[in-house]
Amino acid sequence: MANKNFDFQSLKVKLAERGLKVTSQRLVIFQCLLKYNEHPSAEMIFERIKDDHPSISLATVYKTLDTLVEAGLAKKIESWDALKRFDAKTEQHTHLFCINTNEIIDFEDAELSGLLEEYFKRKEFKNFTVTDFQLQINGQIGDKSKSIKLKQLK
């Protein structure tokens, strides 16, 4: 298991390639992210590593994860945004999410619904019972020319 592409040696290389300083904290955090691919939060990683590395602080975990994301070595699993948002429409439907304005727009398309329904009807998941699903389509309202990317809220 040592050489499964996330031994320290190859991680060092990856960090260095991106011009990032190689620190023991980054190696530990990066390896933890790769090794248990449980899609952890910063907190979860902190819990995992703190026994073996009691000196690493939670703030460093946060900072390091952001650094890895910036370097393209990890990805944030984006939810709509931090706020929990509500919908009075209780039936299953797809949402368009505008990355500029944070608007959420209902989207219904018989073809898409049909496609997915049919897929889920046919598909067997081993050891997983599906209750529902959500499809979020990200993009921007309007056309490609106005590509300013604000990160506003509210």
Place of tokens 């506003």: 152
The stretch near a second copy (CB under 8 A) out of 16-24, 48-56, 93-101 is 93-101
**Minimal distance in Å, beta carbon 133 to DNA?**
23
Report 32-61 residues binding a second copy (CB under 8 A).
Answer: 33-34, 37-45, 47
Report the residue number, 14 or 93, with the smaller CB distance to DNA.
14
CA Rg value for the chain: 20
Contact (Cβ atoms closer than 8 angstroms) between residue 46 and residue 58: yes
Instruction: Check binding of 13 to DNA (CB under 7 A).
Output: no
Tokens of 4: 């499964």
The stretch near a second copy (CB under 8 A) out of 15-23, 50-58, 140-148 is 140-148
Instruction: Check binding of 121 to a second copy (CB under 8 A).
Output: no
Tokens of 87: 């919908």
Instruction: Check binding of 1 to a second copy (CB under 8 A).
Output: no
Chosen from a second copy, DNA, none, partner binding at 20 (C-beta under 5 to 8 Å by type): DNA
What phi and psi, each to the nearest 5 degrees, are found at residue 74?
Answer: -150, 175
Spatial distance between the Cα atoms of 90 and 111, rounded to a whole number of angstroms: 20
- Sign of the CA dihedral 108, 114, 119, 125? positive
Chosen from DNA, a second copy, none, partner binding at 58 (C-beta under 5 to 8 Å by type): DNA
Tokens of 21: 């300083």
Report 17-76 residues binding DNA (CB under 7 A).
Answer: 20-26, 41-43, 55-60, 62-64, 66-67
**Do you know the residue count of the chain?**
154
Spatial distance between the Cα atoms of 111 and 120, rounded to a whole number of angstroms: 14
Instruction: Note the residues at the interface with a second copy (CB under 8 A).
Output: 30, 33-34, 37-45, 47, 65, 68-69, 72-80, 82-90, 95-96, 98-99, 103-106, 109, 111-112, 115-116, 119, 123, 125, 127-144, 154
